Structure 1
Amino acid sequence: MNPSKGQLEMQFSARVTQWEKEYLGRGSLSCKCDLLRDMAIVTLNGVLTPAEYHLAKEVSGREQLKKFRNDLVESGRPQLEAMVEETFKRKLTSLHTDISTKTGERLLVFKFDAPWNAE
């Protein structure tokens, strides 16, 4: 029997959290995955450290922080691609990410080569 949408969302959230801890060195406070058509939209809360919040008070600090954090995610793309294939049996065609330096929330949008529930 194929896993349900909720089971896949929960499984992928757990995998992203594990990847954060192993690859980035720390995890978010919460992680939620939502599947929509050919995408997995992952919301991570509490990803910034107190020092990063302090750095983000200045425009140049915000820009540096966003670039550094996005570069870190991009450098881990091979692992993220493997997670998509293992969880959804789909190829990752594009990955989009942004982080709010005010709220400490990160969004990751994983775009697949086909809808998540296509046979």
Structure 2
Amino acid sequence: MSRQIHEFNDIIRKLRKNLFGKGPERIQTIFVNDMAISTLYGNLSPSEQFIARTVEGREMVHAARTRMIQNVYATAAPEGMEELVGAKFVHLFSDIKVEDDIAVSVFLFDRPIDQNGHLGGESDAAR
């Protein structure tokens, strides 16, 4: 995995840990043209897992997670993200499948960020 993708994954993990009290256990990211596409595994806190045992609870966790993360990114890119990829952050598209505890985030930038040919990487649990 490239250093750039490793650092990108660390930015995502730290932000989500600060926001939700728990960061993803594993992140896999690829850079394609003007996008960074991240798949995040093991996102839910024990409390969220408990709440998600019912249909209504899953819907509540889904809505809270997607709205909170989109609200955070709507105000500004996480510290260091734009400098790392050399492009301005434009928008985040994000969703989570609560039942499987998998989330996908697509980060859109104002210009290509894959110029170095780095096409993927994975980062294990937070250190």
Q: TM-score range by the shorter chain?
A: 0.7 to 0.9
Q: Does 1:99 align with 2:96?
A: yes
1:10 maps to what in 2?
6
SS in 1 for 2:49: helix
Q: Does 1:87 align with 2:84?
A: yes
Structure-to-structure mapping, 1:31-46, within 5 angstroms: 31-46=27-42
By relative contact order (CA 8 Å, sep 6+), the higher-ranking structure is 2
TM-score under structure 1 normalisation?
0.81
Question: Any gaps of 5 or more consecutive residues in structure 1?
Answer: none
Aligned-residue offset at 1:8? 1.4
- 1:29-82 Cα offsets, whole Å, 9 max, x none, are 112221111110111111113432343343322221111001210232145354
**In 2: Cα distance, 1:81 partner to 1:50 partner:** 25
**In 2: Cα distance, 1:82 partner to 1:94 partner:** 15
The root-mean-square deviation of aligned C-alpha atoms, in Å, is: 2.2
Which letter does structure 2 place at the counterpart of 1:73?
I
Which structure has the highest helix share of the two?
1
- 1:15-37 Cα offsets, whole Å, 9 max, x none, are 11111222332211112221111
Structure-to-structure mapping, 1:23-102, within 5 angstroms: 23-77=19-73, 78-102=75-99
**In 2: Cα distance, 1:86 partner to 1:109 partner:** 18
Matched residues, number: 115
**In 1: Cα distance, 2:98 partner to 2:76 partner:** 25
Identity of aligned residues (%): 27
Structure 1 runs (4+) deviating above 6 angstroms are none
**In 2: Cα distance, 1:28 partner to 1:54 partner:** 17
Question: Any gaps of 5 or more consecutive residues in structure 2?
Answer: 117-127
